[in-house]
Structure formats: structure tokens, C-alpha cells
Amino acid sequence: MRRRIGANLTANQLRLQAARQAYAEIAARFEEAGIEHVALKGLTQWPDFVADPRLRVQYDIDLFCPRPSLLPARDALLALGYQPLREFEDFPLDHLPAMVRKTGYQWSGDFFDPRIPFAVDLHFRFWDEGTEGFPAPGVEEFWPRRQGCVLHPADRLGYVALHLLRHLLRGSLRPYHVYELAWFLENRAEDCEFWSAWSELHTPDLRKLEAVCFRAAAEWFACRLSSPAQEEVDRLPEEVRRWFTQYALAPLAPSNKSELWLHLSLTRTGFRKVLLRRMLPTRLPGPVDAVYVPGSQLTWLLRLRKHSRYAVHLLARAAHHARLLVPTLVQGLAWWMGRDYWIFLLATLLFNFGVGLFVLLYNLHLMDLGFAEDFLGWVASAMTAGSVAGALASAGIMRALGLRRGMMACFAATGTIFLARAAVTGPAWLLATAFLSGCVLAAWQASVPPAIAALTSQARRPRGYSLFVSFGIATGILGGLAAGYLAAWFSKLAVLLAGCALAGLAALPLSRLPLSAGVAAQPRAWPRSRFLFRYLAAMAVWSFAVGAFNPFFNAYFARLGASVERIGATFSAAQAAQVAAVLLAPALLRRLGTAGGIAAMQLATAVSLALLAAAPLQAAGVLYSAYTAFQYMSEPGFFTLLMDRVSEGERSGASSLNFFVVFGVQALAAAVAGVAVTRFGYAPVLGGAATLAALAALLFRMMMEPHLPNSTAKNIRT
């Protein structure tokens, strides 16, 4: 080993001398032709970035030329015998294709071989925004601040950092890239004059990109950071800091693409482009053999070897990317939202699927037992009343048991209570178990927001809620389809029991989540304002309208003569319509304003209900899908309107009052509507519900719009 290192040092000294001679020859030709340039990297790294130039291997001579000097510089190199490597013309480079003297050298396996010709790279930019997907503001000032044939010291640091960042993001980072930067940071940590100039000359966005590299140098080599450098590192975005926490040393491993998540955290406009380029590269790799051999010396044997080695290299690269495709996608999901969030989401999907099976078939099961809509209304009312009680008690439950154990208890209790609901037949027991199921389901719903908040960062929290709702609706679609067909293949009771088992088993994945053992008590401010009373009054009318029909949709279709399979398919189609409607809701709210958008959606809901009152079976499915779509489309507007009009300290209390009114009114509506349907049929009840929905639209339009603050309108336009 000593002999080998000694031989490498001796050979590298010869390469260093040759590099100096080559650069001196080029610089003299450029000066003679009046070509302006600065030298980058390479020979300019000493003394700031390396202790001894003999310890740094040298392969390329990197020169920057402004656009007017670029082609004259290329012509000067051509005159010196340098030839461009045409195979690299299509690569995303910051320089023209590398130019070399084709001496006939063939690779010997020795990286320090003094005979390896030097490549000259003529750079025409300091940063490739198009390829990287984000700018490096301020690099355009590097050239005007140059000092002779080198960059200003602050800009030399900036370019070294950007060069490191480029290699990091493209998956080609080498330890010496990081070590040289760490050497500089360690030895300049106390140079206050330099760091003052650096802070003054470089823009905040440029300092942020440099700070990414400072963090990498500190992680890899534990170098000291000056106070300004440390401040920039501390100001890095949350996503970048999280990447270093999880993947700081991953670029040292041979087979991974973890740097992709750092790249996506930094990019602004090229998200999709960067993702596709790294996941499924479409550009062929460059040549790997006979690079320095002129065409006149390429014998048929050399050509055969060149093409065969390239084919082997191409297959190896293709296998590399194919092998990493699935692991990278899995790692991407874990990075996107966090592994624990996905465990939580999968557990809730299993729970929702089991609950969906049960809910779709339970009313039909009661009808098989001989109960009519009036009793179904009482069951729905008892369950809603239980929801009110569960919502009020949920905070104490979660505070006593903690989020994880509280949610596990809710899942296990849901499975047990649902099993009892499927087993008992007495009216009193049916009402009691319905009340208990409402309690545990409401407690579970109340635990979702703090659980998602605990499992996600602040930046990813809105996405966490959105995914939870979207996947919940998708699970409802699958549950509706599965319930209809499974009931036809087996029996309603068997499917109900399967739903109970799935709901209870969903508690098992939750046992691995790092959720708190308890939830700290938070004071709740109960808002009292004219706006809130108007809002709650309008919301009460709306809740009665939709609560009069929603609990009976499956019984309604059964009365129309629909089969169980058709009811399940209709339910799934309605769920799909809800997904599309929720996605379109923000655009409508921006166009019409919050109150105007709510009123428009409520009016559309009223029209759908009115048409559904007299619709035949053939049209009822389409109208029901429209009804549910417009109904759920208005929900984002409700929360936006309410949260915008109360202070931050009152939001929790306002939300509690909102759900208290909604659950309470819907419990009353279900009981009243059940009796009314039994006596008068569905058409009058649906007509009355449509009238109330239209009245709610009028109330929201007339009572809410005049009280919207200017800030809300501004936010909507934004």
C-alpha cells in the first residue's frame, strides 16, 4: 500500500506539472488573441481548498469565457490541437463539449497515469437553471467581480459550492468534492472579513444553495462553520433539514437515488422534469473507450472493442436504473409524507373499508328483520346523538389514553359494537348499540386532526389532511362495490361480520406509531359574535335538509326496486363524483367568492333533491351522484368561511359549536324524516328537504356576504 501511494504521488506530481504547462500554453494563446477568461476549479483550488496541490488529482482544465469570447476560445484550442468530443453534445452541460488532444492514449487502469490527456472545458455559464429546475440568483455577478484570471474569493467559494451541489443532485458526488469545501470552511471559520464580504456580495437565495453544501461538509467531515455560515444553515427550509437528518450520508452508498428528494425540495418549476429524468433516464451515456484515439488510428479491432464495451456499459446502466425503480418509489413515498403517516393511513383505510361494508348493508339487514323507515330514522338519530356525546367526550378520552391507545381503543370498540349491532334484534338493544357506535366513531374522528398533526411536518400537514380525505372517499368506492357483490355471493350477515372484523383488526398497525402517550389540555375559547349566530342558524337549516335524506339513501333505492349490487354501484359512483367535486370546489370558490360559492352549491343540491323526488330508477342514480357531489363540494367553503371570521384562539371553540349544531340537527332530521317517509313516502320528504336546502342557500348568500372582511376577499383572489 505504501509503494502504491508513493507511486501515485510521484505520478500525480508529473500530472500537476503537465497541467500547469497546458494551462500556461492556453492562457498565452488566449492573451495573444485578446480572449478574456477565468480559471475554475482545478489549479485554482490551492491554497484555499487543498493543503498541497500535489495531493489533488487533476483531469480537466476548466475555463469560463463570456459569450463573445466563447467561439474565439474554441477556435484557439482547435489551433492548439484540441478536438471536441462530439458524443457529449447532447448532454446538459455548463460548457461546450470537452476538448482533448487525441494522442492515441488508451485506458490503462491507472487514474494517475501522466499520459492521460487533459480535457479542456469551456464554460459559458455558472449554473444551469433549465436542467436543475431552480435558479442561483447572483451568479451573473461572478464575472464582473473577477480578479485577473480567477474569481473573487467569495465567488470562488460560491462556485465550488454550486459545483458540489450539481454533482450531489445528479448522483455523481465524490468525497473530495465535499472534503475540499470542508477544508475551506474549517480554515476560514474565524475569517470575519471574508464572511462579511461573502454575506454582502451574495444574495439570500444564493447563500441558501451554498448553505446546503455547507451542511453536507459539516455532516461528512465535522468541519467548523463560521457564524454567518451557521446562520444560513440554520435558515435552510424544513424539507432540506429533514433530508439531511435522514439521508446525509446516503450519497456515499453505491445504489440509491436519495438525492432526488433533496432536488425536489429545492426545485420550483421543474418538479416533473427532474423526477422523470432521474427515474427514467432517456439520454444515452457518453463513450467509455477509445476516447483519446483519433479516427485514423481506430482499427476494426479497436472499433469492435469500443462498441462492445459501450454495449456492456449501456446494459449495466439500464439494469441499475431498473433495479432502483421500485425501491426509489417506495423511498419516495416514505420521504413524501413519512413512513409513520403511511402506516396510519393504511390502518384508517382498513378501518374505513370495514365500516363501509357495514354501513352500506346495515339498513338493508334491518329491513330484512321487518323494520320500516320510521325505525331506521330512530336508529340514525340514536347514532347521531351518540356522535354528539362522543365528540364532547373525545378530548378526555384521548387525554387519558393518549392518541395511539385512544385510537386503538376506538377501532377495537367499533368492531365489538358493530358485532353486537349485527347480533341483536330487539329495538331497545338496536338503539343502544347505535348510540354507542356513534360515540366511538365520533371519538375516532376527533382524534384524526391531532394524529395527522403529530405525524406530519407543518409544511406537509395540509397535504396529509387532503390525502386522508381523498383516500377515505376512494375506500368508500371500493367498499360500496365490495359490499354489493359480497352480499350477493354470501349473505348480508356474513358481510356485516366481515366488516366488524376488519374494523377491529385495523387497531394492530396503530401499535407501531410514535404518537404521544397523552394530549395536553388546551384552553378552549368559545366565540360569541353576531356572525357566528348567523352562520350557525344557516348551518342548522342546511344540516336539517341533508340530514333528512342521507340516512335513507339505501332504503330509498331498495323501495325503487334496485338490487343490492345496483345500490352498491350507485354508492360507489356517488363517491367518485364527490372526489371530482371536492377537487373543483376551490376554483368555484375563487370565482364566486366564499359565500357566493357556498350558495351556488347549495342551490344545485336543492335542485338535485327536487328532481330526485320524482325520478324513476333509471335516472335516480345519476341524480343521487349529483346531489352528493354538490353537497360535499360546499364543505371546503364552510370551513374557510368559519375559520376566516374567528380569531385563532376561537377556532377550536367555533369548530366544536359547528359540529355540535350539525350533529344535533341531523339527529332530529333523521328522526322526523323517518316518521314522515313511513306516513307520506319519499317524494314529499325530498321536496321539503329541497326547499330547506334552497332556503339555506339564500341565508348564506344574504346573511354571510355583507359580513365578509376585505382580507377574505383578498385571500380568495390570491
Whether 293 maps to a domain, the answer reads no
Torsion, Cα 298 301 302 307, to 10 degrees, reads: 120
- Give yes or no: residues 444 and 543 share one domain: no
Percent of the chain at pLDDT above 70? Answer: 88
Element (H, E) at 83: strand 83-84
Read off the CATH number of the domain in which 3 is found. 3.30.460
**pLDDT grade for 262, boundaries at 50, 70 and 90:** very high
Q: Write down the residue that cell numbers 332530521 correspond to.
A: 669
Asked which of 90, 124, 158 is the last residue of a domain, the reply is 124
pLDDT of 122 reads 94
Asked which of 76, 104, 124 is the last residue of a domain, the reply is 124
Residue 427 has pLDDT above 70, yes or no: yes
Q: Hey, how many other C-beta atoms are within 10 angstroms of the C-beta on 384?
A: 25
Which residue has better confidence, 420 or 652?
420
pLDDT of 650 reads 63
pLDDT of 703 reads 59
- Give yes or no: residues 692 and 678 share one domain: yes
Amino acid letter at 677?
V
Judge whether 158 and 207 are in contact, CB under 8 Å. Answer: no
Which residue has better confidence, 214 or 477?
214
The average pLDDT across 664-681 equals 85
pLDDT of 522 reads 44
Residue 3 has pLDDT above 80, yes or no: yes
Count of domains observed in the chain? 3
**What is the spatial distance between Cα 496 and Cα 477, in angstroms, rounded to a whole number?**
17
Element (H, E) at 100: strand 99-100
pLDDT of 322 reads 86
- Residue environment code for 554-592, b if the CB has 16+ CB neighbours within 10 A, otherwise e: bbbbbebebebebbbbbbbbbbbbbbebbeebeebbeeb
Residue 184 has pLDDT above 80, yes or no: yes
Q: Which of 574, 561, 557, 683 is nearest to 620 (CA)?
A: 557
**What is the spatial distance between Cα 21 and Cα 155, in angstroms, rounded to a whole number?**
26
Q: Rounded to 5 degrees, what angle do the CA atoms 521, 527, 532 make?
A: 135
pLDDT of 535 reads 86
Which residue has better confidence, 635 or 310?
310
pLDDT of 607 reads 92
Q: Write down the residue that cell numbers 369548530 correspond to.
A: 655
- Give yes or no: residues 595 and 710 share one domain: yes
List the domain range (segments joined by +) for residue 105.
1-124
Q: Which of 399, 345, 330, 344 is nearest to 513 (CA)?
A: 344
484-534 pLDDT tens trace: 788 878 888 888 888 899 988 988 888 878 775 443 444 444 567 788 888
Q: Which of 632, 638, 625 is nearest to 598 (CA)?
A: 638
Lowest mean pLDDT segment, chosen from 203-212, 259-268, 697-706: 697-706
**What is the spatial distance between Cα 696 and Cα 597, in angstroms, rounded to a whole number?**
13
pLDDT of 28 reads 95
- Give yes or no: residues 345 and 484 share one domain: yes
Whether 264 maps to a domain, the answer reads no
- Give yes or no: residues 443 and 586 share one domain: no
- Give yes or no: residues 378 and 486 share one domain: yes
Residue 658 has pLDDT above 60, yes or no: yes
Judge whether 372 and 678 are in contact, CB under 8 Å. Answer: yes
Lowest mean pLDDT segment, chosen from 4-13, 223-232, 542-551: 542-551
- Report the range out of 240-244, 316-320, 332-336 with the highest average pLDDT: 240-244
Judge whether 336 and 505 are in contact, CB under 8 Å. Answer: no
Which residue has better confidence, 120 or 651?
120
Percent of the chain at pLDDT above 90? Answer: 32
- Give yes or no: residues 482 and 546 share one domain: no
**What is the spatial distance between Cα 162 and Cα 165, in angstroms, rounded to a whole number?**
5
Lowest mean pLDDT segment, chosen from 183-197, 212-226, 597-611, 633-647: 633-647
* DSSP track, 590-622: HHH-HHHHHHHHHHHHHHHHHHHHT--HHHHHH
Q: Which three three-digit cell numbers place residue 57?
A: 488529482
**What is the spatial distance between Cα 612 and Cα 605, in angstroms, rounded to a whole number?**
10
pLDDT of 323 reads 86
The average pLDDT across 455-482 equals 71
Residue 17 has pLDDT above 90, yes or no: yes
pLDDT of 518 reads 40
DSSP class of residue 700 equals I
The average pLDDT across 98-123 equals 90
- Give yes or no: residues 596 and 485 share one domain: no
Whether 193 maps to a domain, the answer reads no
For the beta sheet containing 119-123, the strands, ordered from the edge strand earlier in sequence to the opposite edge, are 38-40, 60-64, 119-123, 99-100, 83-84
Q: Supply the mean pLDDT for the chain.
A: 84
Whether 313 maps to a domain, the answer reads no
Judge whether 11 and 17 are in contact, CB under 8 Å. Answer: no
pLDDT of 90 reads 61
Whether 292 maps to a domain, the answer reads no
Residue 646 has pLDDT above 70, yes or no: no
**pLDDT grade for 656, boundaries at 50, 70 and 90:** low
24-46 pLDDT tens trace: 999 999 999 999 999 998 888 88
Q: Which of 400, 579, 379, 376 is nearest to 474 (CA)?
A: 579
The average pLDDT across 632-643 equals 69
**pLDDT grade for 459, boundaries at 50, 70 and 90:** low
Q: Which three three-digit cell numbers place residue 543?
A: 344540516
- Give yes or no: residues 502 and 532 share one domain: no
**What is the spatial distance between Cα 351 and Cα 341, in angstroms, rounded to a whole number?**
15
3-state SS class at 267: coil
- Give yes or no: residues 609 and 484 share one domain: no
The average pLDDT across 435-453 equals 80
Torsion, Cα 558 559 560 563, to 10 degrees, reads: 20
Judge whether 682 and 615 are in contact, CB under 8 Å. Answer: no
Which residue has better confidence, 200 or 46?
200
Whether 297 maps to a domain, the answer reads no
Distance of CA 175 to the CA centre of its chain: 30
Lowest mean pLDDT segment, chosen from 404-418, 497-511, 523-537, 615-629: 523-537
Lowest mean pLDDT segment, chosen from 67-81, 356-370, 447-461: 447-461
**What is the spatial distance between Cα 718 and Cα 715, in angstroms, rounded to a whole number?**
5
Please give the backbone phi and psi of residue 119, each rounded to the nearest 5 degrees, phi first. Answer: -90, 145
pLDDT of 643 reads 61
Q: Which of 655, 635, 651, 536 is nearest to 586 (CA)?
A: 635
Residue 279 has pLDDT above 50, yes or no: yes
Whether 222 maps to a domain, the answer reads no
pLDDT of 293 reads 80
**Residues 6+ positions from 408 with CB-CB distance below 8 Å:** 507, 510, 511
Q: Write down the residue that cell numbers 488508451 correspond to.
A: 106
- Dmax over CA atoms of the chain, in Å, equals 104
Burial of 455 (0-12, 13-18, 19+ CB in 10 A): buried
Convert 508-526 into a string of H (helix), E (strand) and C (coil). HHHCCCCCCCCCCCCCCCC
3-state SS class at 491: coil
Asked which of 96, 124, 152 is the last residue of a domain, the reply is 124
**What is the spatial distance between Cα 354 and Cα 578, in angstroms, rounded to a whole number?**
20
- Report the range out of 173-187, 416-430, 484-498, 666-680 with the highest average pLDDT: 173-187
Which residue has better confidence, 100 or 614?
100
Whether 161 maps to a domain, the answer reads no
Element (H, E) at 63: strand 60-64
Read off the CATH number of the domain in which 356 is found. 1.20.1250.20
Judge whether 58 and 16 are in contact, CB under 8 Å. Answer: yes
Residue 652 has pLDDT above 60, yes or no: no
| C-alpha distances in Å from residue 149, one per residue of 7, 320, 406, 581 | 33, 41, 68, 62
pLDDT of 63 reads 95
Amino acid letter at 228?
P
Residue 642 has pLDDT above 80, yes or no: no
Lowest mean pLDDT segment, chosen from 134-138, 560-564, 660-664, 689-693: 660-664
User: What are the respective helix, strand and coil percentages of the chain, to the nearest 5?
Assistant: 75, 5, 25
- Give yes or no: residues 694 and 555 share one domain: yes
- Give yes or no: residues 416 and 476 share one domain: yes
DSSP class of residue 562 equals -
Amino acid letter at 693?
A
Residue 638 has pLDDT above 70, yes or no: yes
**What is the spatial distance between Cα 221 and Cα 175, in angstroms, rounded to a whole number?**
10
Q: Rounded to 5 degrees, what angle do the CA atoms 113, 114, 117 make?
A: 100
Q: Hey, how many other C-beta atoms are within 10 angstroms of the C-beta on 656?
A: 16
Which residue has better confidence, 487 or 168?
168
Q: Write down the residue that cell numbers 366565540 correspond to.
A: 527
Q: Which of 469, 392, 391, 398 is nearest to 639 (CA)?
A: 469
Distance of CA 450 to the CA centre of its chain: 19
